[in-house]
Chains A and B, each alone.
Chain A
Amino acid sequence: MTPARTGFAFALSSTIVVVALSVAWAAMVPTLAWGAAIPALFMLALMTVSELRARTTEKGLVERRYGVAGAGLLLALPLAAVVGSSAGLFAGDPSDLSARAWGVAMGLVLAAYGNVMPRHLVRYDPNATGPSPRQACLRFAGRTFVLAGLAHALVYALAPMSLAGELAMLPVAAAVLLVGLRFALARARRAPAN
């Protein structure tokens, strides 16, 4: 099968899976269905468009598939928590459990995204003698987002639900701020040389 046709088949099958999961969500917990489905469907749409456009590079296809797998995780993990709770496998309120599972999944997706950030290739400069600022920034951003994602997941897994939302945002907001500052500093240092 050519890369383009593989891409189309993958896009179609992943759309069916995510739509099916969304329908299951709506049936199980109608009040929470959209909160979980909208980000996942947005990610899926983004990845599907990229998938269909990236017809030639297999590496690109693999990375996009991880993205769609992340979108699926955002829907499947909370749904599994709700189904498990309804079936009596876990104790507790199904809404709380699904919110916890969604927070854990979001944290894991952020950590996975941070994990692959440093794999982004930087431009080769034949005249460069010192370290590449962009490469250093990407490594810093990757590590920071991995830690923030794990912290987000841990908070949702362990903290009381009344505090989890606010507490989990702290490491993520701090990570975004730190990474933004790091990139801005690198840009400011480079500016006088240009």
Chain B
Amino acid sequence: MSTVFKAIADPTRREVLALLRERPMSAGELADQFDVSKPTMSAHFAVLREAGLIDASRHGKSIIYRLRMSVLEDALMGLAQAVGLDLGGAAPAPAMNRKEASS
């Protein structure tokens, strides 16, 4: 459960989950929605995968991410969103680039 809390503590990861609530998306489609580097996005995807909140599968040359959130995890994310939970330090932010630093 701690991996789930860690995963939903970061606003970018919550945004990824919110996008995947709509439909499965490729890594590229998801990355296009954020002003962060690809390595940073990959790190976010890894945290979400580790928490079991998303599933990754290969579809041709793309990696497709699909939501695997239970009702309880969805409710927790809603709560985190409502209270504006941002534990910053709990979220790994490897490979920060200039694009991120300026945003």
A14 at the interface (CB under 8 A from B): no
Query: Which residues on the B side are within 8 Å of A126 (C-beta)?
Result: 26, 59
Contact A115 B72 (CB under 8 A): yes
A71 to B23 alpha-carbon distance, docked (Å): 33
Out of A124, A131, A139, name the residue touching B74 (CB < 8 Å): A139
B4 at the interface (CB under 8 A from A): no
How big is the B interface, by class?
10 to 19
Total interface residues on A, using CB and 8 Å? 21
Out of B21, B26, B64, name the residue touching A135 (CB < 8 Å): B21
- Expressed in whole angstroms, the minimum distance between the Cβ of A192 and any Cβ of chain B is 20
Contact A132 B24 (CB under 8 A): yes
A126 to B59 alpha-carbon distance, docked (Å): 9
B49 at the interface (CB under 8 A from A): no
Inter-chain pairs besides A118-B67, A135-B22, 13 sampled, C-beta below 8 Å: A114-B71, A115-B71, A118-B74, A119-B69, A121-B24, A122-B66, A125-B23, A125-B24, A132-B22, A132-B23, A135-B23, A139-B21, A143-B71
Chain A residues within 8 Å of B, Cβ to Cβ: 114-119, 121-126, 128, 130-132, 135, 139, 142-143, 146
